[in-house]
Amino acid sequence: MRILVADQLADAGVTALSDHHDVDVRTGRSKDELLADVADYDAIVVRSATTIDADVIAAATRLKVIGRAGVGLDNVDIDAATEAGVIVCNAPTSNVISAAEHTVAMIASLARNIPQAHRALTAGRWERSRWKGTELHGKTLGILGLGRIGSLVAERCAAFGMDLVAYDPFVTPVRAEQVGVTLLDTVEEVLAVADVVTIHLPRNADTVGLIDARRLAMMKPSAFVVNVARGGIVVEEDLAAALSDEVLAGAAVDVFDTEPTTDSPLFALDNVVVTPHLGASTAEAQDKAGVQVAESVNLALDGQFVPSAVNVAGGPIDTRFQGYLELGEVLGRLFGGLSGGLGREVAIEYLGGLAEVDTTVVGLSVLKGLLGSGATQPVTFVNAPAIARERGLHLRETTDTQSPLYLSLLRVSGTDREGREVQVAGTVLPSSGRLRFVEVWNTALDVEPAERMAFFRYRDRPGVMGTVGTILGEEGVNIASAQVGRLDDDRAVIALSLDDEVTTAAMDRIAEQIGADEHRSVSLQ
């Protein structure tokens, strides 16, 4: 497949993509240039310079994934991508260490007036008394946003002997306690007690303008504000006024409302440390971003689940149950093939150990397999729920930690268009990770999924297998394996794994001669 790398990407990232796909590195292009040939690509990788908006997504008719080599996604229209079924992924952990270290560097620079003293000395002025600093030990650090970066900053500042408080409505007190932080209920409470406030929040409708003149006035006159998160969260004009009026002692800012910029009211102030969005600007972070986004793009182009996808419901599944993603998709395909068409509802049951973890993406895998064979558009983890809604298909999911025969079991059931019940189930063998179908048409059996399979439901009697083998032999179709499952009333299901495609005529002929009341050939690819 073809990938367009539209912004500068670390060589390690380009190599990781080129090992699997055709890659064109074409940077610095205008929107018109991008629109002219974006339809030729299956994936686009950007950093922050190129904007992928709704127009670009609409023109990219082959597009399957947009990769952002970094954390922020301000330059990607996620809603338009989701509507088009395009996965959007980033490199969420690539810069966390670099950003945390830069934050700590900014805090230390503020506390000890390092940039100001440097400027004075190199200009020929020995101003030792003017740039007297303050110790961090014993001071209170207030963290707004206790995610990955905020937690790393907390760990590092704890080593200075600082007291740690934070506001984050999405973090539990238990998690905060693990990193030695006391959670407070509001932003205002943090501002009131902190000697240093550091911001680690995303930029969104709730956070733009969050730290304004009113909230700055709640802080101690001796306090510092540090923003290495996103521009616009702190109102620059209000911050400049607060610093000029000695409402605050100082600020350190790495991000701005408009970037790039060389004009801000903050630049003229001696009690401000500024850097040009350097939080992620380390060689290590850039390499990590390139490699991480390349790995995600490769997964997406291979049709697999992408843990860093931002527009897919659910997060990564527990590694112990990773095989159930593949099993879910093949069970969905099997259910669709056996039912011959969709009813109004499909039920998914998660049994045993599988019921104890987040199975959201397993359900998406089932939908992806179920809808994929009959769709006129590619079905992905992104658009599967929307396609199901369009078709009037309702998904019902249940969990039960009890599974009498297997450590974990995944079952899919429902009715076909004629109202007949269809039920299939499978498991992943814990010793080998191999997939097994253990129920087909409500009948217990044990068969490994194969690319081409055929199923017959009939009344069991001698000679059936011989008849099946004879007819398939005459058709030049080799049987790789065959498994029979029986019900108590001597009804049976035979599952055949085939090396070759079998014609409808051959299937009908077998069904007639063995007296099968139902038969299906199914492709699981």
Active site residue 259: yes
Catalytic residue, candidates 230, 333, 411, 452:
230
Q: Which of 150, 154, 213, 218 is nearest to 189 (CA)?
A: 218
- Reported as half-sphere exposure (CB side, CA atoms, 13 A), residue 291 has a value of 10
Please choose, from the candidates 280, 322, 302, the residue with its C-alpha nearest in 3D space to the C-alpha of residue 91.
Answer: 280
What is the rounded CA–CA span in Å between residue 311 and residue 198? Answer: 28
If you write DSSP's letter for every residue of 361-425 in order, what string do you get?
A: HHHHHHHHHHHHTT-SS---TTTHHHHHHHTT-EEEEEEES--SSSSEEEEEEEE-TT--EEEEE
Helix, strand, coil shares, percent, the chain, to 5: 35, 25, 40
Q: Is 277 a catalytic residue?
A: yes
Active-site option among 135, 259, 345, 421: 259
**Displacement of CA 433 from its chain's centroid (Å):** 23
46 DSSP β-pair partners: 68
Which residue in the list 200, 277, 452, 457 is annotated as catalytic? Answer: 277
The 10 Å Cβ neighbour count of residue 384 is 26
Sign of torsion over alpha carbons 324, 325, 331, 334: negative
The single residue listed with the structure tokens 């069991």 is: 460
Pairing of strands 272-274, 345-352: unpaired
Alpha-helical segments (H) within 247-322: 283-301
Whose CA is closest to 415, among 396, 387, 438? 396
Helical pair 148-158 and 96-112, crossing angle rounded to 10 deg: 50
DSSP lists the bridge partners of residue 211 as 234
Dihedral sign (CA 238, 242, 247, 250)? positive
SS3 category, 331: helix
- Give which of 402, 404, 399, 427 is closest to 321, Cα–Cα: 427
Nearest to 203 by CA among 74, 92, 311, 329: 74
Q: Which residues contact 222 (CB under 8 A, 6 or more apart)?
A: 134, 195, 249
CA distance 423 to 419: 13
Q: Which two tokens stand for residue 350?
A: 């998660």
β-bridge pairing 196-199 and 140-144: parallel
Helix (H, G, I), strand (E, B) or coil at 31: helix
Structure tokens at 410: 């995944």
Question: Active-site residue numbers?
Answer: 230, 259, 277
